[in-house]
Structure 1
Amino acid sequence: MTLKNRIDSVFTMRVSMIAKRLLTLFLVLHCSIFMSGCGVYSFTGTNLSPDIKTFSVLNFTMGTAGGPSDLPQRLTEELKEYFQRNTSLISQPGGGDLVLEGSITGYDVLAAAPTANDQAGLNRLNVTVQVRYTNAKDETKNFDQSFTYYADFPQDQTLNQNEARLLPTIRENLVQQIFNKSAADW
């Protein structure tokens, strides 16, 4: 092998190594640029600003007749638990960056699914909650809104026979609606 061939071989090897390093650097920079534009996302669908660190759920009240006396307390606790499970926010008794408060404004049994002889085929337990949400970091996100969910039960049974079975589902869905509106901004 001549000196010229050796120099060409060494030169080709060095160019190849430099090209590999440049390609690696390019790929790393390219990926980092694209990933930096993606922002911070959560698998739970929350859409909260990174400067929000705390939340408070004030005790809900019973603003209507009917319903079990522990319904507001259970709703309050389930909201707190849901936020703790699905966000990295820290719960505090009051004055959080996000504050939820409200009242149960409706607890009604209505006739549903009418039959041919004008009787209800089903009864419907309908629960309505008025929620005030305050975002101390972004007042444009504040809202005062009503949320409703219902569950049906057979017309030949009483509410007392079905209440313990229906209320967990109703509370779970109300909590999900409130969370979606406040933290997920849906």
Structure 2
Amino acid sequence: MKKGLVFFMGVFSLMLISQSCSITLNGSSIPPGLKTINIEFFENNAPLVVSNLSQDFTEALKARIRSQTRLSIVRGEANATMSGNIVNYTITPVSVEATGSNTPPIASGSRLSITVNVKYVNDVDKKLNFEQQFTKYSDFKGDISSQEQNLIVLINRQLTEDIFNKAFANW
């Protein structure tokens, strides 16, 4: 009985401390005055263009911020703005396989890489501002056409996690 009471008091104390220090479970650290954010459309300026990449990336970033913060996403004037563009989309071989003495080797594994340039302007706390490139990739085997959309979803998830952490978790 005594152990249960000690445990309850410990949990209660932790709850009080977390309320006063604004600790959150997702690791985000958002200044109290930051209420709104404008996520601008990320244009695809990569040499190799995939038609839905801009829309998919922009929506993935908005979804991450919606689900992990209390911020309202608005158009136009906001306490913070996130903008940028997709600057690279490449498919490169990562492993090769010999096919015979008279034929050149072929790629047995490939890598899809996406690079995004992000500018974050925080009007509430200017020392959190940054402009940085983020790159993520995923390796795959076989033809890209059957796997491309799933790979884009995976890479967008990784990219938005890194961008979120840079902007809101100070990592």
Class of the TM-score when normalised by the shorter of the 2 chains: 0.7 to 0.9
Other-structure match for 1:121? 108
Other-structure match for 2:89? 107
Q: Which amino acid aligns with 1:165?
A: N
Other-structure match for 1:158? 143
Distance in 1 between residues matched to 2:49 and 2:143, nearest whole Å: 13
> CA 1:109/1:36 → structure 2, altered by over 3 Å: closer, same or farther?
closer
Q: Which one has the largest radius of gyration?
A: 1
> CA 1:137/1:112 → structure 2, altered by over 3 Å: closer, same or farther?
same
**CA deviation after TM superposition for structure 1 residue 37, in Å:** 9.6
Other-structure match for 1:77? 59
**TM-score (structure 1 length as normaliser):** 0.75
Q: Percent identity among equivalent residues?
A: 31
Runs (5+) with no aligned partner, structure 1? 1-26
Which of 126, 142, 149 does residue 136 from structure 2 map onto? 149
Distance in 2 between residues matched to 1:158 and 1:114, nearest whole Å: 14
Q: Which amino acid aligns with 1:56?
A: N
| Residues 18, 24 of structure 2: 8 Å contact kept | no
Q: Which amino acid aligns with 2:119?
A: R
Which of 137, 159, 179 does residue 124 from structure 2 map onto? 137
Equivalenced residues, count: 154
SS of residue matched to 1:173: helix
SS of residue matched to 2:77: coil
SS of residue matched to 2:118: strand
| Residues 57, 94 of structure 1: 8 Å contact kept | no
Is 1:51 the counterpart of 2:33? The answer is yes
- List, as ranges, runs of 4+ consecutive aligned residues in structure 1 with deviation greater than 6 Å: none
SS of residue matched to 2:147: helix
> CA 1:65/1:36 → structure 2, altered by over 3 Å: closer, same or farther?
closer
**CA deviation after TM superposition for structure 1 residue 89, in Å:** 0.8
* Cα RMSD, aligned residues only: 2.3
**CA deviation after TM superposition for structure 1 residue 97, in Å:** 1.2
Deviation string 1:46-72 (CA, Å, 9 cap, x unpaired) is 011111111110011011122321111
SS of residue matched to 1:134: strand
